[in-house]
A and B are shown apart, each in its own frame.
Chain A
Amino acid sequence: METIEQQFKNTPTTQLDKVRVEAFNAFEKLGIPTSRVEAWKYTNIKTKLSKDFILTPLESEVNTAVKNYIASLPPYAFRLVFLNGIFHQELSIIPEIEGLYITNLKEAFANKSSNIEQYFGKAVNYNEEHFAALNTAFVTDGAFIHVSKNVAIEEPIYLHYFFTATDADAFVQTRNLVVVEDGASLQIAEDFRNASNITVQYNHVTESFIGKNAQLTLVKLQVETKNVKGIHSLEALLQRDSTFNASTITFEGNVIRNNITAQLLGENAHADLSGLYFGKENASIDNNILVKHLAPNCTSNQLYKGVMNDESVGSFSGKIFVDQIAQKTNAFQSSKGLLLSNEASINNRPNLEIFADDVKCSHGAAIGQLDENALFYLQARGIPFELAKQLLTYAFVHEVAERIQAKPLRQFICDKLKEELKLNW
């Protein structure tokens, strides 16, 4: 890391560089967390990542897995394609729409587009968050999306991140920056895929700024993520009357960590965070949520459901923080788990920190197995045991998919769920 360090020490000329140097210095202090760090209690990430990871971008060929997948996408989908963190313009479709500005981060940095300096590194807490610091210092590339005031973008924008890591120690740093100005609306799907058979490692950050009365829907897809060690940090700053909907869908993955922080900064803002995850083999799937109510009359909702198989371990940590000025807060949290094997487990850790007195907050957690009586009822109608289990699993999780506001994305997830559970209706 010597040379990169030099590079940072030498060139803190622009505002952007200053942020990156700060983040670099922070990471030097923070390092990779051990499981003694409270927030990383359930994922001993230090032992899971390779020791001497490589942060320099890896040029790699667009393989057939990537090509085939791209070819299977509907032709109208707006998309940006990244392979091992490197932007591929030739695979991307970027619409020319009035009030919508999309480019890759590198390009935006170079051109200082849309005041990117005003936003980059401003939603994420790189002074305390280990992986946010690392990412801020070493980000390779990602998407920059800016929606101007009062512009509604109807079609979802797909951000495809493919990984084929040619080197087992590669640790790819990707990042999105999303700005939705006052009164505007946008839907984004972030799709992460392992396009190889080997283990890949990445660290992704999305910063989002949601203006007054604006709406952002973000669906994070970890659907083709076998052998993935992926760390995600999603940061949202919500101004008054704005809405943030985030759905995190994890079908597979070896080590998956999803951090979400939503800060409700203005009155009447609403954050809806939901997720569903499946654990297989020895997977570790860890969702870590922080909702900060920092203004009165805001609402937030968390709904997470996990289905764990084999020896997989799921974790849900959900914190609701209510500042003393945040009166009339409504904040709810529910985390439910279904254990399909005796060796699987889920750690549930709700946490309420409330400093206002006129609030409605609740959390609920339930972990269990499939209901024997329900299974028997299905079997008594001729439905084979395995199918009965799949049907009931679908019944358990589909509520999360149904909450996705954007219809094409909702349909996509419902179809994927049926595929995953081998249900053909």
Chain B
Amino acid sequence: MLSIKNLDVRVEQKEILKGFNLQINPGEIHAIMGPNGTGKSTLASVLAGKNEYEVTGGEISYLGKDLLEMSPDERAREGVFLAFQYPVEIPGVSTTNFMKAAVNAKRKHLGLDPMDAKTFLQLLNEKRAIVELSREFTSRSLNEGFSGGEKKRNEIFQMAMLEPKLAILDETDSGLDIDALRIVANGVNQLRNKDNAFLVITHYQRLLNYIVPDFVHVMYGGRIVKSGGKELALQLEERGYDWIKEEVASLA
């Protein structure tokens, strides 16, 4: 589904990703862990198409297409979804209207007519229930004045609405209490099937108790330095990142 080869990325003359490789197949859940500032959000932004990141080498293929050739909105309509680490507040646009625009943009792309109001409302209510967001939230301005946890639940709600093929969750668990964490994980697990895939970026092993990954990767210095199964996350939880850093240093 997604194949990243030797990816080099720069932002403001600074190299962030250096020879990054990753292969994701349909039905898989991959977790990426790693210390702060190592380039996890950069990877997520590059996949979503944020233009301030300059790709200086390597390639990304998504469902057989060159992802880097596609605009951010095209990627989204083709099924790429990024749950933002820091969701943006947009005063004056309600979550409902935002989702209406997004759902219909996707339908148009698929050659379908806009969804009728009644069906849309049903869909909205159904997905809202998954993340336990009240009706009031979807009629309010997008993320404006939402708590951290509400913003993250809103991201998962949007994901549920759009049913992406590849969902990238950037620290969706940070700052969540245990209930919110369960709600978020529940959203992912309901969506999960053999045809879609998830890339879960996290600092904490605890999310992975709820969303069980097939692969865990450790990212350090702009690339993946170690990969394993879900037990690797437990190891990191126990031992921190220093032993990884030492391993990398000894190999250099």
Q: Are B101 and A380 in contact (CB under 8 A)?
A: no
Q: Are A378 and B82 in contact (CB under 8 A)?
A: no
Q: Which residues of B contact A381 (CB under 8 A)?
A: 73, 76, 98-99, 101-102, 105, 158, 162
Query: Given the known A-B contacts A394-B92, A395-B93, A425-B100, are A377 and B109 also in contact in the complex, defined by CB atoms under 8 Å?
Result: no
Query: Given the known A-B contacts A376-B72, A425-B100, are A382 and B105 also in contact in the complex, defined by CB atoms under 8 Å?
Result: yes
A interface footprint on B99-137 (CB within 8 Å = 1, 0 otherwise): 111100110010000100000000000000000000000
Q: Which residues of B contact A380 (CB under 8 A)?
A: 48-49, 72-73, 76, 81-82, 84
- Any B CB within 8 A of the CB of A396: yes
Q: Are A373 and B73 in contact (CB under 8 A)?
A: no
Contact with B76, one of A382, A424, A425 (Cβ below 8 angstroms):
A382
Q: Are B71 and A385 in contact (CB under 8 A)?
A: yes
Give Cα A425–Cα B88 distance, bound, in whole angstroms. Answer: 22
Q: How extensive is the interface on chain B, given as a class?
A: 20 to 34
Q: Which residues of A contact B87 (CB under 8 A)?
A: 377
Q: Which residues of A contact B97 (CB under 8 A)?
A: 391, 425
B interface footprint on A371-399 (CB within 8 Å = 1, 0 otherwise): 10110111111111101100110111011
What total of A-B pairs shows CB separation below 8 Å?
A: 78
Q: Which residues of A contact B102 (CB under 8 A)?
A: 378, 381-383
Q: How far is the CB of A337 from chain B (nearest CB, A)?
A: 16
- Any A CB within 8 A of the CB of B22: no
Q: Are B76 and A379 in contact (CB under 8 A)?
A: yes
* Chain B residue with the shortest CB-CB distance to A424: B114
- Any A CB within 8 A of the CB of B77: yes
Q: Which residues of A contact B91 (CB under 8 A)?
A: 395
Query: Given the known A-B contacts A387-B105, A395-B93, are A382 and B73 also in contact in the complex, defined by CB atoms under 8 Å?
Result: yes
Q: How far is the CB of B193 from chain A (nearest CB, A)?
A: 20
Q: How far is the CB of B171 from chain A (nearest CB, A)?
A: 16
Q: Are A384 and B73 in contact (CB under 8 A)?
A: yes
Q: Which residues of B contact A382 (CB under 8 A)?
A: 73, 76-77, 102, 105-106, 109, 162
Give Cα A379–Cα B102 distance, bound, in whole angstroms. Answer: 9
- Any A CB within 8 A of the CB of B90: yes
CB proximity to A under 8 Å, residues B43-90: 48-50, 71-73, 76-77, 81-82, 84, 87-88, 90
A interface footprint on B17-44 (CB within 8 Å = 1, 0 otherwise): 0000000000000000000000000000
* Chain B residue with the shortest CB-CB distance to A376: B50
Q: How far is the CB of A191 from chain B (nearest CB, A)?
A: 26
Q: Are B98 and A378 in contact (CB under 8 A)?
A: yes
Q: How far is the CB of B183 from chain A (nearest CB, A)?
A: 20
Q: How far is the CB of A422 from chain B (nearest CB, A)?
A: 12
Q: Are B92 and A395 in contact (CB under 8 A)?
A: yes
Residues of A near any B CB (own CB < 8 A): 371, 373-374, 376-385, 387-388, 391-392, 394-396, 398-399, 424-425
8 more contacts with CB within 8 A, not counting A383-B101, A384-B73, are A374-B90, A378-B98, A379-B76, A380-B76, A380-B81, A382-B73, A383-B76, A388-B73
19 residue pairs bridging A and B, Cβ less than 8 Å apart: A376-B72, A376-B88, A378-B90, A378-B102, A379-B72, A380-B73, A380-B76, A381-B73, A382-B77, A382-B102, A382-B109, A383-B101, A383-B105, A385-B73, A387-B101, A387-B105, A391-B101, A425-B97, A425-B101
Going nearest first, the 10 A-B pairs with the smallest beta carbon separation are A395-B92, A382-B76, A381-B102, A379-B72, A377-B88, A382-B77, A379-B73, A382-B105, A395-B93, A382-B106
